[in-house]
Amino acid sequence: MRLILSALMVFAFTPPVMAQTAEAERTIMSTVVAEHDRHIDLLERIVNVNSGTLNLAGVTAVGEMVRAELDPLGFEVRWIDMAQTGRAGHLIATHDGGGRNILLIGHLDTVFESNSPFQRFARDGSQATGPGVGDDKGGVIVIIAALRAMQAAGTLEGSNITIVLTGDEERPGSPLAVARRDLIAAGQVADYALEFEGLAIENGEEFGTIARRSSSSWTLTTGGRTGHSSGVFGDTLGYGAIYEMARILDTFRRELPEPNLTYNVGVIAGGTPAEIDAAGFRVQASGKTNIVAETAIARGDLRTLTPEQDARVRDRMAGIVDDHLAKTTAELVFAEDGYPPMAPTPGNTALLERLNAVNRDLGLPEMAPFDPAKRGAADSGFVAADVDTLGGLGTAGSGAHAVGESIDLDSLVRQSQRAAVLIGRLSLGDR
For residues 283 and 297, membership in a common domain is answered with yes
Please state whether beta strands 127-129 and 283-285 pair in parallel, antiparallel, or not at all (unpaired). unpaired
For residues 301 and 384, membership in a common domain is answered with no
For 136, residues 6+ apart whose C-beta sits below 8 A from its C-beta are 106, 107, 108, 110, 169, 196, 197, 198, 394
Q: In the sheet where 127-129 sits, what is the strand order? A: 122-124, 127-129, 406-408, 397-398
pTM: 0.91
pLDDT 10s digits, 178-201 = 999 999 999 999 999 999 999 999
Distances (CA, A) of 426 to 275, 314, 388: 53, 38, 12
Q: What is the predicted pLDDT for the residue at 428? A: 82
The domain that holds 330 is classified in CATH as 3.30.70.360
For residues 231 and 190, membership in a common domain is answered with no
Please state whether beta strands 160-166 and 101-107 pair in parallel, antiparallel, or not at all (unpaired). parallel
For residues 94 and 192, membership in a common domain is answered with yes
Cβ atoms of residues 139 and 395 within 8 Å: yes
Q: b or e along 284-302 (b: 16 or more beta carbons within 10 Å of the residue's beta carbon)?
A: ebebeeebbbbbbbbbbbb
- Final residue belonging to a domain, choices 301, 316, 334: 334
Confidence of residue 22 (pLDDT cuts 50, 70, 90): confident
Please state whether beta strands 328-334 and 122-124 pair in parallel, antiparallel, or not at all (unpaired). unpaired
Q: What is the predicted pLDDT for the residue at 430? A: 56
Domain count, the chain: 2
Q: For 269-283, what is the mean pLDDT?
A: 92
Q: How many CB atoms lie within 10 A of CB 346?
A: 9
- In the chain, the largest separation of any two C-alpha atoms, in whole Å, equals 90
- Final residue belonging to a domain, choices 334, 366, 384: 334
Q: What is the predicted pLDDT for the residue at 20? A: 66
Q: What is the predicted pLDDT for the residue at 209? A: 98
- Final residue belonging to a domain, choices 305, 334, 363: 334
pLDDT 10s digits, 308-353 = 999 999 999 999 999 999 999 999 999 988 999 999 999 999 999 9
Mean of the per-residue pLDDT values for the chain?
A: 94
For residues 237 and 152, membership in a common domain is answered with no
What angle (nearest 5°) sits at the alpha carbon of residue 138, between those of residues 343 and 106?
40
> Which DSSP string do the residues of 171-213 spell out, in sequence order?
S--SSHHHHTHHHHHHHHH-SEEEE-SPPEEETTEEEEB--B-
Select from 323, 317, 324 the least CA-distant residue to 300.
317
Question: Could you list the residue range(s) of the whole structural domain that residue 80 is in?
Answer: 2-212+340-428
Select from 113, 171, 107 the least CA-distant residue to 143.
107
For residues 68 and 152, membership in a common domain is answered with yes
For residues 95 and 237, membership in a common domain is answered with no
Q: What is d(CA 88, CA 59) in angstroms, rounded to the nearest whole number?
A: 6
The domain that holds 165 is classified in CATH as 3.40.630.10
For residues 109 and 15, membership in a common domain is answered with yes
For residues 208 and 220, membership in a common domain is answered with no
pLDDT 10s digits, 130-141 = 999 999 999 999
For residues 114 and 248, membership in a common domain is answered with no
For residue 66, the Cα-to-chain-centroid distance in whole angstroms is: 19
For residues 233 and 254, membership in a common domain is answered with yes
Cis preceding linkage at 340, omega within 30? no
For residues 162 and 230, membership in a common domain is answered with no
Q: What is d(CA 1, CA 24) in angstroms, rounded to the nearest whole number?
A: 20
pLDDT 10s digits, 149-174 = 999 999 999 999 999 999 999 999 99
Q: For 226-246, what is the mean pLDDT?
A: 97
